[in-house]
Amino acid sequence: MKSLLLSVTFLLIAALQAAAFDTRATAAYVLDQTTGTVLLSKNAEEPLPPASMSKLMTLYMTFEAIADGRLTLDETLPVSQRAMDLGGSTMFLNTRDRVSVEDLIRGIIVLSGNDACIVLAEALSPDGTEAGFARMMTARAQEMGMMNSTFTNSTGWPQAGHRMSMEDLAILADRLITDYPTYYPLFAEREFLFDGRAPQNKSNRNPLLALDIGADGLKTGHTQEAGYGLVGSAKQGDRRVIFVVTGLPTVASRAEESEKITTWAFRQFVEKNVATSGTLIAQADVWMGNQTSVGLTVADDLSLLVPVVGASNINAFAEFNGPIEAPIEAGQQLGELVVEVEGLPDVHHPLVADRAIARGGVMPRLRAAVTVLLRDYAGISTQGAL
């Protein structure tokens, strides 16, 4: 099999090269959600203690339970002794309480309540225990493609084996925003004073919410082992950026680094239209067809995120196996357009047939057979040089 039949390098747009962001975080991941472009990846696949950022998985599974009818927002749940006793960030629940699911959700998002997490975990667990819920979390994370996540509790409380990668946290943030847009505005709430119990713990710890940079989520985290971290997201215009940082030494450094990353992601990159639907990219030879070639086009519009500082070009090439055997259906994927932007991951975009090619009659098949015989017998190549 020949993996590359055609290599055409051409100027798509005048691109500009952005300086890489040098983050102080131990690990970081920055994703332009709008285009799916990874802007920064530092130790992003390494499983690390996630602290309270792993509460996002408890929230995701709670939203799933509401969506499929296992919970309702106005349903009230009992508080166990374990939930009351854990400590750390809390809603100050006690065993005399019955708390609505909606208040528990807001208690997790705004107050980072460990007690609220355990109440929901015990309600949803197959055996009524937080450990049982943690096993559910791990299994569900694997199904969602979060391959570097293992949960031993619902809260992010320091515990051996409780780990998430920064890339996995970004996947989770993306799914929360995309799958549950109805609940996503809760992540932008600045305050939640539950029952007037804890005025000293009423404010959202996300430092970006107070800034005018489009920030609207998602979750902070801190333990001595993990350092200070944040799963953040912001939207400016039509673009949304998701980022994850961890391992920062102080609250102040977390706030400063998060603001710098957000500003960098929006100011140093711009979205550009590269090709519109139907644009002819290349021609591929056809084998055994009633026509000798087929056009390769992009099936839908292609936009790229590109840097905006310093000059360079974007290179692209069509990649496909060929010649392509007939019959071929119009719109059938035959290869990929690979776009290379310096400093960013390559983009792979489907290339499809611009028209249908029917199987040929006797003469095309005879020509094909002769070509095979010549190639096999005499070592004559029918392919052009790369």
Backbone phi, then psi, for 133, in 5-degree steps?
-65, -40
For domain 273-378, which CATH number applies: 2.60.410.10, 1.10.150.530, 3.40.50.300, 1.10.600.10? Answer: 2.60.410.10
Residue extents of the structural domains in the chain: 23-267, 273-378
* CATH topology classification for 23-267: Beta-lactamase (3.40.710)
| Per-residue pLDDT in tens (0 to 9) along the chain, 386 residues | 333 333 333 333 333 344 568 999 999 999 999 988 899 999 999 999 999 999 999 999 999 999 999 999 999 999 999 999 998 999 999 999 999 999 999 999 999 999 999 999 999 999 999 999 999 999 999 999 999 999 999 999 999 999 999 999 999 999 999 999 999 999 999 999 998 886 778 899 999 999 999 999 999 999 999 999 999 999 999 999 999 999 999 999 999 999 999 999 999 988 888 788 888 999 999 988 899 899 999 988 888 888 886 435 578 888 998 799 999 999 999 999 988 877 777 888 899 999 999 997 655 555 655 554 555 555 544 333 32
CA pair distance 106, 95, nearest whole angstrom: 19
Residue 51, phi-psi category: left (phi > 0), alpha (psi -120 to 50), beta (remainder): left
Residue 8, phi-psi category: left (phi > 0), alpha (psi -120 to 50), beta (remainder): beta
- What are the structure tokens assigned to 183, written together? 């609940």
CA pair distance 314, 337, nearest whole angstrom: 13
**In this predicted structure, what is the pLDDT of residue 135?**
98
CB 169 within 8 A of CB 148: no
DSSP string, 168-203: HHHHHHHHHHHH-TTTGGGGG--B--GGGS-GGG-B
Q: Output the pTM of the full model.
A: 0.82
